[in-house]
Chains A and B, each alone.
Chain A
């Protein structure tokens, strides 16, 4: 069990987190731990605030209540400069890739190095080519972001996310909208980067198959609460109906196919 691990083994620990957007409660007293060196997935249907969770961990949003510790530091107690120092140790892969559109692939990967280090250009070149080679796009270095396919853009963004050799990478819906080959490539990359670079990976996703294939531990979120957790195998055999429906993608179950509505027959027969 991840929860029983000692605190030093947890790179991220979230306790009692509450966050609401307007009247809508997105998180209601959520607590979870993310173990160092493992691939942890946070799953749940669209609109459960999975991306919001990543933004909270990255310090881009502040919670209403509760605490988030990353690498032993309370994210929302840090001064701006300390937060920026911490972020240098976090990589984040956005859903859209978030590549800077006015720069080539090469310059995009070099960007964090040029901003944060004083390395000579020859050294940066070596590092950029290494990072691009790791994602298999060394040959695409002269392309501009608008010339890349969605899958390629995500891989470039991944190369950029590992540019400063971070401790952990957060993946925001890495598989959404990808063709099967790109999906396969990404699954392979996430797993291999995690083992070869000794990273910690946090994947936010609703693609059950791909995520279950690489995750060491999965949290399932719904309605602002954690409704299931465990290794992929444990979740497959979960006795929660909801988790079962989610893991197998059934159309009807605890989550109804129909949006709540008055009785069908009454509705049809009702006069305007």
Chain B
């Protein structure tokens, strides 16, 4: 069986483009391109209610993503939600009196943590805790309150 060179070339082209597509998906489409790896430090925040926040939800400052939520668990005594965040180590100058809030991207979008930088000269370090937190806005609660106000105001 003679194997033609065009055939070899086309097979080569096919395999190369298939692998390129896999790389494209890994780097451009998924979070692998912005994977933080070990170059990060952890900060902790206590929220009364972390709402629909999930592991891997983004953490951002002024709309720029600086890290991800790495763990969410319940404090068994205070019944608060403990949220651990991994912040990329290049952002090592966040003031220690910064505050964090949980917001929703768009009306139905994902929830994310927004960090509001404070003015302290000290910076957040690995395992430091953020004290100023505002909880997630739960849509049902908001609608409930709104309805109640309407009814009372009448």
Contact = CB atoms under 8 A, between A and B. Distances in A.
Interface residues of A, number: 3
B2 to A, nearest CB: 7
B1 to A, nearest CB: 6
Interface string A103-130: 1000100000000000000000000000
B4 to A, nearest CB: 13
Interface residues of B, number: 2
**Interface residues of chain A: helix, strand, loop or mixed (majority):** loop
B3 to A, nearest CB: 11
B32 to A, nearest CB: 42
B21 to A, nearest CB: 30
A107 B2 CA distance: 8
A82 B60 CA distance: 72
Contacts of A102: 1
Nearest to A114: B1
A103 B1 CA distance: 6
Nearest to A102: B1
A102 B1 CA distance: 9
A102 B3 CA distance: 12
A107 B1 CA distance: 6
A242 to B, nearest CB: 49
Contacts of B1: 102-103, 107
A174 to B, nearest CB: 27
A102 B7 CA distance: 15
Interface in B1-36: 1-2
A103 B2 CA distance: 9
A102 B2 CA distance: 11
A165 to B, nearest CB: 22
A89 B1 CA distance: 23
Contacts of B2: 107
A150 to B, nearest CB: 24
Contacts of A103: 1
Interface in A217-235: none
Interface string A68-105: 00000000000000000000000000000000001100
B79 to A, nearest CB: 71
Contacts of A107: 1-2
Interface of B: 1-2
4 contacts: A102-B1, A103-B1, A107-B1, A107-B2
Nearest 4 interchain pairs by C-beta: A107-B1, A103-B1, A107-B2, A102-B1
